[in-house]
Structure 1
């Protein structure tokens, strides 16, 4: 599916942001970066072929986009708002209860700054959530207007142009508002990191006197600092686990997305229209009888066809780039319009999630509507 829209699969125009994390860690470790590291490592050791690495990069992009959609779902946003508002309420309560404490370090100032960051974070999240909802509504209305204008362009072209112009104006206004929120969030992120380091320095410089002179302020600062470190560790650990799973257990990740994700790719009918093949290994006797087939690993024969076509596969291509398993004798394969082939079970689940080839990103849904190959 196209990747030029803000909610298109694979890549959006916004960096995915997990909720319930410290404000100075707004960009999680990139799964695509891990996939590129795998590409460089495999090029040295030849542990994984180039097509297999490209498939894993595409899967990492898919997971990042799913993460972005999940992070701005209504339950997660609501939980994030409650979490940060609770931080603000706790900060105000402790500041009131500790009004008689006299810390040697400006801990009150740091707590106020931390609470202000929470408020700014809440404002940015609300703005992003509102923008995403409005964009979905605009895109839905825009698609409806385009379908209507194509059906009735001869009779109502003036009205359609006005409606379409309103759609683009609304989207442009939404993009302007998002740009301001994005700059505010970036500034808040940078300030949050500096403020965390400042708070750590003030707490450390205060020494043991803080525990006796200002225990409430001291332990609140320690709690906030510890929460931030905890979330950093959790985010990095989760990114590492998911990155390893994408590299080593990609079929499991695809099966999980297939089970829990909405159908945003091809339908079952679209997938069934793609040709299926049976794989047959070339026997040792055939290899001995023909010197030209020594380097070939097997033959793909089309199923359910009166005049089946056959493709002879080189040894290095006789494996599925998704599960990294060599094609067994009698394995059922499926070929996408761009010519790439995979295990039928592997590629069917992938296409249900995303209607593009995991190797070249060819959109199978546009194959019948447009001439030539089209990549997204």
Structure 2
């Protein structure tokens, strides 16, 4: 047997078949895609954070109007305020009190005498800033018991009036 017919003695010689060129092309394409994605993400992040001064001002006015509406049902005041103590103090629900202290169920911190708080119509207490944030995120119910902040019967009455007006206007336009 000759050494040329023995497969164990065959030493493959490197060939120039373009394999390294293909790897280079693939790496170049991947690098290009990466650069495009980085540029797009920077562009999108830049556009999200900014807005015209008018848009920012309109957003501030909307938030202020929402907080003023909340002030109508749960005004912000110091927890240890003498005026608050003069009112008949409701017994806090067991779900937010522990050993004669009341806890804000949003941040789980104990309410102190100098803390600004809001007492909802359901008699649950929360830090003003905690409840404001909760409310501004489109939550219109108590975080503990889910009681609506605002009287739902008023909304139903307004909706009925609007529907009655629109139906009478529609009937009036048909008689012409």
Q: State the TM-score, normalized to the length of structure 1.
A: 0.23
Larger radius of gyration: 2
RCO higher in structure (CA 8 A, sep ≥6): 1
